[in-house]
Amino acid sequence: MSESLRLLSVVGFGGSIPNGLILHPDGTTLIYPLGSTIVLRDKGTVESQQFLQGHTDKVSCLAISRSGKYLASGQVTYMGFTADIIVWDMEARALLHRMSLHKVKVQALDFSFDERRLVSLGGQDDNSLVLWNVETGAAICGSPTHSDFTLCVKFLNNCRDVLITAGKYNLNVWEHDGPNNKLREMDVQLGQLRRIFNCICIDSQDRFVYCGTTSGDVLQISIETKLMKNLGIAKGPISLGVTASCHTPEGRLFVGAGDGSIRLLKVPPEAANPKLMKKNSEVAVINVDGAIASLVTEAETQAAVCLLVGTVSCNLYRITWAVKEMRFTSELLQTAHSDKVNDLALLGDSSDVFVTCGLGNVRLWHLDTCREVLRIRVPNLECHCVDLFRDGSCIVSGWSDGAIRAFGPQSGKLLFSIHNAHHKAVTAIASTGDCNRIISGGEEGMVRVWGIRAESQVMEASMKEHKGPVNCIQIKESTSDECVSCSSDGSCIIWDLTTFKRRNSLFANTFFKAVVYQRDESQLVTGGTDRKITYWDPFDGQPIRILDGSSAEPVNALAIDPAGETIVSGGSDKLIKLWGYDEGHCYYTGVAHSGPVAKVAITQDMSRILSVGAEGGIFVWEFAKPRPLPEDIPLDGQDAE
């Protein structure tokens, strides 16, 4: 049996989760999801992190009780299966209850003001509303929601028996009938108005509910009469719809929009319309990068209101509204990838700097602080692969338009670009130790060698033997006169970089996804869709040992530590596994990813393991050396005949 690999820190934020950013009532702890993991960190520093792990797939919603004693989280799952709700004890940082009734997805959650009840809303394939007992974890009662898709749910702030739901062309007030144990539905009368509601917030006295819509307006609804009182804003609809809102204790209503703007609305009960509070239009509006998904009140005084804002671009901001000056200011707190991360590369012998790439950007990170140092944007293109020159002078990257682009790691300036380096996308790239050559692999199967001169880049060779996309290239570090490329055509080819001819080739019934040299370079290790980790003799091209790298999913990434004693693998099973190289036994398993792992790496000082994947997160694990196995435990894998 393998032990758990310790997760040290993560770089990432589930920005697309509505209201996924939560500030704990203690005022210092930020809570947000990343894949299947829930991250708890101090709002002042990224380094201090704790993790709640118990979900089997991506977390879809979060809610915290008024005192902060309980945290509830829901997830998505596969079609036809039930999606779990977990109630966490925040004092013990432990799982309290696991509840399963909803199918496929839990859409939204909310606690009653007295923390005794939890309401959950199922997703589009479930469309049910369930009331839970927080102390026992048992369901109290449930009801189907409106026939159209329902998106959000909220308890009243001072009553545990009444709640509001809103969604696609529906807005309803629900009341729990205690004697009959039923949820009774009452429609809000909107007349001829038809809206899709994205978010709802309720004032502290439970008089009005404010509903943001995809049409870009805000509806003020009287809870007592269940009638619409006002429709705004007075200046006209907000671009791309109202996506998030929060109501402060002093009665201020802030709304965030799909265009990245944040506004303060003046909504006294006697107002004819919610009006934009302003001296002029520039003062009362501020824009950030990405659609607003979360708005949280951090602090409110007579002088200022501080908000924490999470965006779909996975950025965290602190927005301050100065009451006297009537203007907004913003501060960027954290950045992260908003889409899948395709590749990861460490800087030579350094253990402090690494680079990642994804859709439209390349990012340079400082490992100890988990902060972004540099972001290079190339809009409307996807970066498939990235590498760092050993001397740290250049970041080289391969793109979906078939170009190789090189950037300065300090300035982010484009140093050179090789257009049409491949007929299709550049899918693999590696640089030699002397920083004079780049070897690239393309989606069409070409492997090409580029000589890097002071003023020009020259193609020295183009080698065409692969029949499928080249997924990984590794260069022999000791001499830089040999490299190996692996492809989806089921072959790995060892190339002579002096004659630009094939030295040898390896074949298997698989799509090869990753290949690495053993540290003494006497063996090769591969992983692929056959779920095997295979040791090869590069001289005769025969397998030496075959390990079961995964029970059901492909092995996508491999890394060997500088001492050559351990292998780290990652695959579509969402697991990080640490293997003893000689004995082939899996000693440690890391669980945190919610999607396929794309790349793994081990720092030069052998203190940490880095992994990236489809959920857009960067996970930093503690490297653990294998312990000696008891004699009665059989070794994994088998020696090839």
Domains of the chain: 338-475 (2.130.10.10), 508-641 (2.130.10.10)
Distance (Å) of CA 174 to CA 119, 125, 159, 165, 171: 11, 21, 12, 8, 10
Is residue 66 over pLDDT 80?
Answer: yes
C-alpha to C-alpha distance for 587 and 581, rounded to whole angstroms: 11
- Token digits of residue 128: 């049910």
566-575: average pLDDT: 94
CA–CA dist 87, 92 (Å, integer) = 12
- Residue 277: predicted pLDDT: 53
- Give tens-digit pLDDT for 103-139: 999 999 999 999 999 999 999 999 899 999 999 999 9
Write out pLDDT tens, residues 165-184. Answer: 999 999 999 999 989 999 99
Q: Residue 155 pLDDT more than 90?
A: yes
Predicted confidence (pLDDT) per residue in 506-560, tens digit: 999 999 999 999 988 899 999 999 999 999 999 988 999 999 998 888 999 999 9
Which pLDDT belongs to residue 148?
A: 74
Structure confidence at residue 233 (pLDDT): 82
Alpha carbons 122 and 106: distance in angstroms, whole number: 5
Least confident span in 63-67, 144-148, 227-231, 635-639: 635-639
For residue 637, what pLDDT is reported? 56
| Predicted confidence (pLDDT) per residue in 185-243, tens digit | 999 999 889 999 999 999 988 999 999 999 999 999 999 999 998 888 877 788 999 99
* pLDDT value of position 487: 96
- End-to-end CA gap in the chain: 27
The Cα–Cα gap between 484 and 514 comes to 10
For 443-470, b/e burial (b = at least 16 CB within 10 A) is: bbbbbbbbebeeeebeeeeebebbeebb
Residue 53, pLDDT > 80, answer yes
User: Rounded mean pLDDT of 618-637?
Assistant: 75
346-371 pLDDT, tens digit each: 987 677 899 999 999 999 999 888 88
pLDDT of residue 280: 42
CA distances from 3 to 506, 563, 579, 586 (A): 33, 21, 11, 9
Q: What does the DSSP assignment read for 144-202?
A: E--SS-EEEEEE-SS-SSEEEEEEBTEEEEEEEETTTTEEEEEE-B-TT---BEEEEEE
Could you read off the pLDDT of 298-346 as tens digits, one per residue?
999 999 999 999 999 999 999 999 988 888 999 999 899 999 999 999 9
Beta bridge partners of 480: none
Q: In the prediction, which pLDDT does 279 show?
A: 44
pLDDT over 70, % of the chain: 95
* pLDDT of 282 over the 50 cut: no
Look at residue 368 in the predicted model and tell me its pLDDT.
Answer: 87
User: How many angstroms separate the CA atoms of 54 and 95, rounded?
Assistant: 8
Lowest mean pLDDT of 259-268, 291-300, 310-319, 493-502, name the range: 259-268
Neighbours of 363 (CB within 10 A): 25
pLDDT at 456: 86
- For 309, the token pair is 């804002």
Q: How far apart are CA 216 and CA 238, in angstroms?
A: 4
> What's the predicted TM-score (pTM) here?
0.90
Higher pLDDT, 119 or 480: 119
Residue 369: per-residue pLDDT:
85
Query: Parallel, antiparallel, or unpaired: how do β-strands 638-639 and 208-213 relate?
Result: unpaired
DSSP H or E stretch at residue 403 = none
Checking if the pLDDT of 629 tops 80, the result is: no
Q: What is the chain's mean pLDDT, rounded?
A: 91
CA distances from 536 to 5, 161, 443, 516 (A): 27, 66, 25, 10
Q: Judge whether residue 283 has pLDDT over 50.
A: no
Question: Residues 35, 58: contact at Cβ < 8 Å?
Answer: yes
- pLDDT over threshold 50, residue 40: yes
Residue 481 sits at φ, ψ, to 5 deg, of -105, 10
- Are 604 and 346 within 8 A, CB to CB? yes
Q: What's the one-letter identity of residue 205?
A: Q
DSSP states of 557-624: EEEE-TTSSEEEEEETTSEEEEEETTT--EEEEEE--SS-EEEEEE-TTSSEEEEEETTS-EEEEE--
- The pLDDT value recorded for residue 281 is 39
Q: Please tell me whether the peptide bond between 233 and the residue prior to it is cis, using omega within 30 degrees of 0.
A: yes
Distance in angstroms (rounded) separating the CA atoms of residues 116 and 136? 10
